[in-house]
Amino acid sequence: MKQIKKRLKSGETLIGCWLNLGSSVTAEIVGLSGFDWVLIDLEHGAGEPKDLLHQLQALEHTAAGAIVRVESYQKERIHRVLDLGAQGVMCPRINSAHEARTAVQGMHYPPKGIRGVAKMVRATGFGKDFNRYKANTWNELLGIIQIETLSALDDLDEIAATPGVDVLFIGPADLTVAMGIDGETSHPLFLEAVDRIVGAAKKASKAVGILIFDPQDFEKYQDLGIQLIACGSDATFVANGARDLHSKLSRFKKQTK
């Protein structure tokens, strides 16, 4: 384990990014670039569950902790990625404390949860470290609940107070769409929602995360007390690099008569 949860609890701000190409090669490149954590996206990313193992293996020798966003809060989605060795799970579009509790229960073994027990899996060293792994999941696995719907805002305090929910993660794209202010992250309604989320998390002694689209916004959100901050993705890095190079080379291209 790379102690992402412990570092958050100590008050550290952790920098991350998305992995949505489903590629073990870009996962390794990003992991070696210095990010504290990465989010392998199985909700919107191009990769499929069968690609996850190779990405986790590629990240193993890097400093980046591997978090996986699953498609739903169903336990079958959650325990599968944990058995493969994910160090945390992000559940999207959680609408209530009931759904948050269901997600958390899927992450943990009885009596705290309902996760099925399988000893011969990658997360346990294929059985060698099962006892240690089982004893430490509550303290080491990071449970992240995305706040990106109006229903979640209505049940915010209860979601934050749910044991096993470690991070309330703000999803700006979906949340602004739900609020009728598509993409307007400077809108007073969105800023008020951010304040409410940070306040609820602080009251429950939980952390807050956010995906930002402009690196210049990093300090603004860090100053609000947001600790888990992501910016960019492997797809963005490849696309921006390709477009930038093409633009530069195009200036030198001689025009035919």
The model's pLDDT over 171-190, given as tens digits with 9 standing for 90+, comes to 999 999 999 999 999 999 99
- The token duo for 106 is 């899927």
Query: Which contiguous run of DSSP H or E holds residue 146?
Result: strand 142-147
Q: Look at residue 219 and tell me if it is in a domain.
A: yes
Instruction: Confirm whether 246 is a catalytic residue.
Output: no
pLDDT, tens digit, for every residue of 198-250?
999 999 999 999 999 999 999 999 999 999 999 999 999 999 999 999 999 99
DSSP letter for each residue of 45-73: SS--HHHHHHHHHHHTTSS-EEEEE-SSS
What value does the CA radius of gyration of the chain take, rounded to a whole number of Å? 19
Select which of 44, 61, 98, 108 is catalytic: 44
Q: What is the length of the chain?
A: 257
Q: How far apart are CA 92 and CA 148, in angstroms?
A: 8
Please check whether residue 256 lies inside any domain of the structure.
Answer: no
Nearest to 54 by CA among 34, 40, 36: 40
Average pLDDT of span 23-39 = 98
- Range(s) of the domain holding residue 87: 4-250
pTM over 0.85: yes
Domain of residue 57, CATH code: 3.20.20.60
What total number of domains does the chain contain? 1
Could you tell me if residue 257 is inside a domain? no
Residue with tokens 């058995």: 83
Nearest Cα neighbor of 22 from 1, 50, 57 is 50
Percent of the chain with pLDDT over 70: 99
Q: Is 94 helix (H, G, I), strand (E, B) or coil?
A: coil
Please provide the average confidence, as pLDDT, over all residues in the chain.
96
